[in-house]
């Protein structure tokens, strides 16, 4: 991980990750706890949190539209909490939103724990600081709209990074590419594999069923790997 100096905001140094950095981190972490499926299938994200951080997620009543939060301490992640309203919903959409929320919070845990290890930074960080010794990251828009994704979260770099990790954890590239093979075409003299605009919705639906995510999560992950703007695949 690299950092760069910031002239504004809560942190003098911000972590910088390329897409391939986050991809490699998430793949390695899934492999380390033996939770990377051998073939396309849903990732057991709740079990990942248990094995990676040594905690089980909790459900609590969260206000102000908050879907989840991560509590940090000096030794890293101390709690992952999901809105009880999602658990009470009992629909497939809500179950999948729980999975997305857990993966998003796991992304914060993997990428941002080091930001909470310094005494001078425990008083004011992004989130709710009712207990200044327990800084939290509160997450409202766990799954962003496509417009939010493209404009960069209005400066909320930590949410952008956590959502990149969410996609990598729930939809590992090597498994995702296996599901996408029937939808890909060949373009250009180098035979690049591309996904046409006309097949994106169909591909997202198929991916969401295989990996047990809501279609918007699948679509954003697919668009990140196979950008629609020029049909070219990102290098990952």
- Cα–Cα distances (Å) from 154 to 147, 150, 227, in that order, read 11, 10, 21
Which range marks the domain in which residue 71 is found?
2-172
Who's near 16: CB < 8 A, 6+ residues apart? 1, 2, 3, 4
Q: Taking the model in full, what pTM does it have?
A: 0.82
Q: Is residue 182 part of a domain?
A: no
Q: Is residue 186 part of a domain?
A: no
Q: Is residue 219 part of a domain?
A: no
- CA atoms of 79 and 201, how far apart (whole Å): 36
pLDDT score of 41:
98
92-148: per-residue pLDDT in tens?
999 999 999 999 999 999 998 887 654 444 334 445 444 545 555 656 656 665 555
Q: Is residue 181 part of a domain?
A: no
Q: Is residue 190 part of a domain?
A: no
Q: Is residue 202 part of a domain?
A: no
Domain count, the chain: 1
Q: Is residue 67 part of a domain?
A: yes
DSSP 71: E
207-235: per-residue pLDDT in tens?
999 999 999 999 999 998 988 754 344 33
Q: Which two structure tokens, joined as six digits, stand for 224?
A: 């990140």
Q: Is residue 215 part of a domain?
A: no
Q: Which two structure tokens, joined as six digits, stand for 50?
A: 């248990």
């Amino acid at each position: 991980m690299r950092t760069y100096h910031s002239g504004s905001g809560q942190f003098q140094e911000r972590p910088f990750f390329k897409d391939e950095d986050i991809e490699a981190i998430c793949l390695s972490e899934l492999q380390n706890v033996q939770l990377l499926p051998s073939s396309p299938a849903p990732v057991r994200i709740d079990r990942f949190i248990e094995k990676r951080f040594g905690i089980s997620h909790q459900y609590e009543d969260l206000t102000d539209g908050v879907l989840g939060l991560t509590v940090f301490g000096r030794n890293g992640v101390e709690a992952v909490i999901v809105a009880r309203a999602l658990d009470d919903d009992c629909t497939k959409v809500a179950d999948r939103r729980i999975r997305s929320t857990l993966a998003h919070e796991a992304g914060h845990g993997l990428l941002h724990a080091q930001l909470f290890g310094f005494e001078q930074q425990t008083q004011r960080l992004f989130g709710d600081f009712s207990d200044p010794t327990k800084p939290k990251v509160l997450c409202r828009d766990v799954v962003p709209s496509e417009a939010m994704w493209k404009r960069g979260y209005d400066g909320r770099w930590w949410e952008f990074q956590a959502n990149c990790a969410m996609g990598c954890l729930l939809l590992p590239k090597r498994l995702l590419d296996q599901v996408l093979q029937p939808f890909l075409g060949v373009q250009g003299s180098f035979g690049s594999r591309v996904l046409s605009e006309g097949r994106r919705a169909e591909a997202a639906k198929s991916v969401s069923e295989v990996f047990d995510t809501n279609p918007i999560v699948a679509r954003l992950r697919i668009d990140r790997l196979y950008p629609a703007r020029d049909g070219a695949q990102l290098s990952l």
